[in-house]
Structure 1
Amino acid sequence: MTQPDSSLQSQNPISSAQNSVDNVHAAVSRAMSHPTPQTKEEAQNSITHAERALEQATDQSDSPAVQQAVQSLNDEKARLQSNQ
């Protein structure tokens, strides 16, 4: 018997980049509320991951969704920087 399709959809580079930026927001929020070396490093790692995901998304499309994700990432980077 074959297994039914998973409810998880495969992600395209744009949705992956948006999800990465959402993860950055969560990581930066944790780093701000619990500023330890570990949470700050996790936020930086999330930012690096999101930057890579956005590079891939930008290669595929320069849509408003990608531009919004880039702006959101820049906002989160500024928010983290202002807390250090």
Structure 2
Amino acid sequence: MTKTDSSLQSQNPISSAQNSVDNVHQAVKHALSHPTAQTTEDAQNAISKAGNAVSQASAQSDSPAVQQAMESLDEDKERLANLE
């Protein structure tokens, strides 16, 4: 039996970047509401992964979606930095 992809949308660099940035938003929100070393580290890891995804997406496209992902990521980085 082969494993099938359960996603209805195929992943491309832009959607991957958007999903990563959404994960950052949730991780930062969690770190702000439950500030522990672990939640902060989790948010920093999510930021690092999203940074890579956004970088890959921006190398392939300069679409408004990529620009929005960059801006959102920067905002969440700032929110987390204010916690620290």
| Residues matched between the structures, number | 82
Per-residue Cα deviation, 1:12-39 (whole angstroms, up to 9, x for no partner): 0000000000000000001001111100
Partner of 2:61: 61
| Aligned-residue identity in percent | 62
Q: Which runs of 5+ in 2 are unaligned?
A: none
- How do 1:1-84 residues align onto structure 2 when only pairs under 5 Å count? 6-8=5-7, 9-84=9-84
Runs of 4+ in structure 1 off by over 4 angstroms are none
Q: Which runs of 5+ in 1 are unaligned?
A: none
Alignment root-mean-square deviation, CA: 1.5
Q: Structure 1 residue 83: deviation in Å?
A: 1.3
Q: Pick the structure with greater CA Rg.
A: 1
Per-residue Cα deviation, 1:22-75 (whole angstroms, up to 9, x for no partner): 000000001001111100000000000000000110111001110000000000
Q: For 1:11, what is the secondary structure of its paired residue?
A: coil
